[in-house]
Amino acid sequence: MSFLSIVIAIALLLAVYSWLTGYRLPINRRAPGTHHTSLPRERGVSRSTRKQLLRLVGGNASVAQRLVQDVSDRNPDRPEQWCWEKAIYDIERDRRA
């Protein structure tokens, strides 16, 4: 058996193992020209809250930011976390109606 066939066999075994275990290499797969959908880190706002709102607006960060800003403008005395939760509540309420 040649050296090349051994290397190919090892690579094939590693590929099959990775496929079976679901291991993915940490490679950034975003296509060029696509927009970044994450929201900027807000002080005092939990990550799960930000992700939930982003998921509700279909990944559109500008829509999520605008909704939070609208809630914040109408309720200037409320904390940032409350504004994010209120935006989530409003979307869910509107979808039920």
pLDDT digits 0-9 by tens, 7-50: 999 999 988 888 788 766 666 555 555 555 555 555 689 999 99
Question: What secondary structure does DSSP assign to 8-56, as a single string?
Answer: HHHHHHHHHHHHHHT-------PPTTPPP-PPPPPTT--HHHHHHHHHH
In the chain, domain spans: 37-97
Taking the model in full, what pTM does it have? 0.57
Say how many Å lie between the first and final Cα of the chain, rounded: 70
